[in-house]
Amino acid sequence: MLKQKYSIILRAWTTNMGGNTSITTKTGEMLDPERIPLAEIGRAKFVKLIQQFVMGLNKEFYRHNNYYIWEDNKEIMNGGIFNGSTSFIMSPDYSDAEVEKYKKSAGDVDLAFNSSYAKDVYNYLEDHEGVEFAPGAKYLGNNRNSEDALGNTIICLVKLKFGNTIVQAQIDFELSEFVDGDEMHGYIDSDGIIYDSDKNKISSKNNVEIIRNGW
């Protein structure tokens, strides 16, 4: 009997939640993340700018690497690539009023991408510090020092401008497992047996390793 439902890869987000990681830019400037005043900004404006930032980054990344970080734009627009409470904020299944009732602010933005792209994504970001990928959304830098030491998350800061409100927002690029362009989800029962989202037992060593790394 399945007791608990988990997103297999998403366990990693709990270690970095809250927007509390400083970064040092290439010029040596140390920057701190700021909480995102969601109620003050308005959820609709926040969602629109984050979508524009991700779409812009995706487009520019393709120009340099000949493939997209996120292959399906629908997954960006429907919130499918976002993790943790960010998936609730970004989901079109909830109204602005519903989201703002429970989320007055956000500590960070949790964004999943295919772990096999990690080195390319990191190197691209390193080469584009200070670039505005959408009007009002400028990439400031990340917390990693080497493509060989990325861990589970590349923690980035992005300056977001909402009219007169400017926020240095932490955006966590979380290395995840994707199948056919979609993030993989699954279940763990009380005996620790792993299943996919269709309740099929998973015995793949690779999938078990994903679980282990996520914890």
pLDDT surpassing 80 at residue 191 = no
For 30, the 3-state DSSP assignment is strand
Say which range, 24-28, 39-43, 123-127, 155-159, has the weakest mean pLDDT: 24-28
Position 209 in a domain: no
CA distance 78 to 51: 10
Q: The domain spanning residue 178 has which CATH number?
A: 3.30.460
**Which tokens go with 112?**
């999943």
Is 88 a domain residue? yes
Note whether 158 and 137 are within 8 A (CB): yes
Confirm whether 214 is domain-assigned: no
pLDDT at 203 over 70: no
CA angle 44/50/52 to nearest 5° reads: 100
- Asked whether residue 19 is domain-assigned, the answer is no
Return the pLDDT at 179: 53
CA–CA distance, 97 with 117 (Å, rounded to integer)? 36
Q: What is the pLDDT of residues 53-85, one digit of tens each?
A: 999 999 999 999 999 999 999 999 999 999 989
Confirm whether 148 is domain-assigned. yes
Q: What is the mean pLDDT of residues 10-34?
A: 71
In a domain, 78, yes or no: yes
Token pair listed for 76: 């960006």
Sign for the CA dihedral angle at 195, 200, 202, 207 comes to negative
65-75: buried (b, 16+ CB within 10 Å) or exposed (e) per residue? eeebbbeeeeb
Q: Which domain does 118 fall in, by range? A: 31-182
In the chain, how many domains are there? 1
Nearest to 186 by CA among 178, 201, 176, 196: 196
Average pLDDT of the residues in 120-145: 96
Domain contains 50 = yes
Question: Alpha-carbon dihedral of residues 36, 39, 40, 42, nearest 10 degrees?
Answer: 100
Kindly state whether residue 8 falls inside one of the protein's structural domains. no
